[in-house]
Structure 1
Amino acid sequence: MSSVLSEYHQRVAQEKRALIVRAATDLFLELGYDRTSLARIAERSGVSRATLFKQFRTKAALFDAIVTESWSTATEEAPPPAGDVVDGLTTIGRRYAALLSRPQMTDLFRIVIAELPRFPELAQAQFSQGKMPYFESVRSYLLAEHEAGTVQVHDADLAATQFLGMISNYVFWPALLVPGWEVSAERVAEVVDEAVRTTAARYAAR
């Protein structure tokens, strides 16, 4: 009985946490980070202030959670095994395109850009807790392929940047900056495939 209650309480806590994160993201976009208080977030999310403070002691901690959760599904997925760089990069590229296509990712970057002059720590959180762990996973994969002899990558940082940039520059950044920008699923697949071909050709083992 106690385990059932424990599971129930955990599920309720997770549901309330999701409500808080969504409400905070919406308010940060509407009012800005500075003018959004924890009390207002509690009101918008429909939870008590005590519940919110139990989950997040500060507004900065809440923003950190937004960043972490926005990138979490990508960083938690196991990297593809080394041995076939085309298959591996295709898997990574599709995951990355799907991640960038999520509405909450666009929302997150808009908050960071809007608040950058006054709150540079938000950009630091986005980089260190979100972008960098994901980048490191791609870099590590390329190094694994190098060790397997499928590619020759002497600058894994540059190779990972090139590969991810070919995808994000078409799929993500225009959507962030141009109202109404949409890319079809078929076009996204083409963009990923071309990024894979270009990277595989550039770093193919001789």
Structure 2
Amino acid sequence: MSSVLPAYHQRVAQEKRAQIVTAATALFLELGYDRTSLARIADRSGVSRATLFKQFPSKAALFDAIVSASWSTADEDDAPPVGDLVAGLTTIGRRYAVLLVRPQMTDLFRIVIAELPRFPELAQAQFSSGKMPYFESVRGYLQAEHEAGTVRVEDVDLAATQFLGMISNYVFWPALLVPGWEVGAARVTQVVDEAVRTFAARYGATGPEARTER
């Protein structure tokens, strides 16, 4: 019984945390970051103010949680094995595309863009707590492939940016800026596959760039 109760309480706490994050995201979009109070978020999420303040002592902490939730994946710590560049990049690319098409990812960027003039710290939080950790995971994978001799990359930061950009520039940014822009699952797969082929042709150890160096 003693082990069941802590598990139950933990599950309830996680559910309430998710309710708070969802309510806060909606209110930030509806009213703006400045006009949204923690008390209003508690009312919208259906939790007591004491519960909310226990989970999130400030709006900044709550926004960090929104960023973390938007960028988190179930397999974020499961890096692809090194040695098969196409398979590894395909895994990374598909994970990235799944992140980008989440409604909460679009919501997050809209909040940051709308509030940037008054609250530049929100952009910093989005970058340092969300984008940068994900970028570092991709960078680490490419560095490992480079050390294994699978790719030849002189500037790993640039290469990671190029690969992710080939996906986000089609899947994400138009959806953020163009009303009604939708990308179907088949199209997303095609975008990722083409990004992998382009990257492998440029940086693969057996690609044309590698042959010209020999």
Whether contact under 8 Å (1:163, 1:195) holds in the other structure is yes
TM-score by length of 2: 0.94
| Whole-angstrom distance in 1 between the partners of 2:68 and 2:48 | 23
In the alignment, the residues of structure 2 paired with residue 29 and residue 164 of structure 1 have an alpha-carbon distance, to the nearest angstrom, of: 26
Q: Give the TM-score of the pair, scaled to structure 1.
A: 0.98
What's the offset of the Cα at 1:199? Answer: 0.4
Question: In structure 2, what is the equivalent of residue 202 of structure 1?
Answer: 202
Work out the percentage of aligned pairs sharing the same amino acid: 84
Q: Are residue 35 (structure 1) and residue 14 (structure 2) matched?
A: no
Deviation at 1:74, TM superposition (A): 6.6
> Partner letter of residue 104 of structure 1?
Q
Instruction: Return structure 1 stretches of 4+ with deviation > 6 angstroms.
Output: none
- CA deviation after TM superposition for structure 1 residue 31, in Å: 0.2
Find the aligned partners of 1:86 and 1:4 in 2 and give their Cα distance. Answer: 44
Residue 20 of structure 1 contacts residue 42 of structure 1 at CA under 8 Å; is this kept in 2?
yes
How far does the alpha carbon of each residue in 1:150-169 deviate from its partner, in whole angstroms, 9 at most, with x for none?
A: 11001000000000000000
Q: Distance in 2 between matches of 1:148 and 1:74?
A: 27
**1:23 paired to 2:23:** yes
Distance 1:77 1:111 in 2: 27
Q: Distance in 2 between matches of 1:197 and 1:37?
A: 48
CA RMSD in angstroms comes to 0.9
Q: Distance in 2 between matches of 1:90 and 1:204?
A: 14
Within 5 A, what are the aligned runs for 1:36-185?
36-73=36-73, 76-185=76-185
Contact 1:64 1:129 in 2 (8 A): yes
Looking at structure 2, the residues matched to 4 and 144 of structure 1 have their Cα atoms a distance apart, in angstroms, of 42
Is the CA contact (8 Å cut-off) linking 1:75 and 1:137 kept in structure 2?
no
Q: Residues 81-126 of structure 1: CA distance to partner in whole angstroms, max 9, x if unpaired? A: 1101011001100000011000000000000000000000000000
- Conservation of the 8 A alpha-carbon contact between 1:56 and 1:62: yes
Q: Distance in 2 between matches of 1:42 and 1:64?
A: 17
- Equivalences, count: 206
- Aligned counterparts of 2:91 and 2:184: Cα–Cα separation in 1: 18
Gaps of 5+ in 1: none
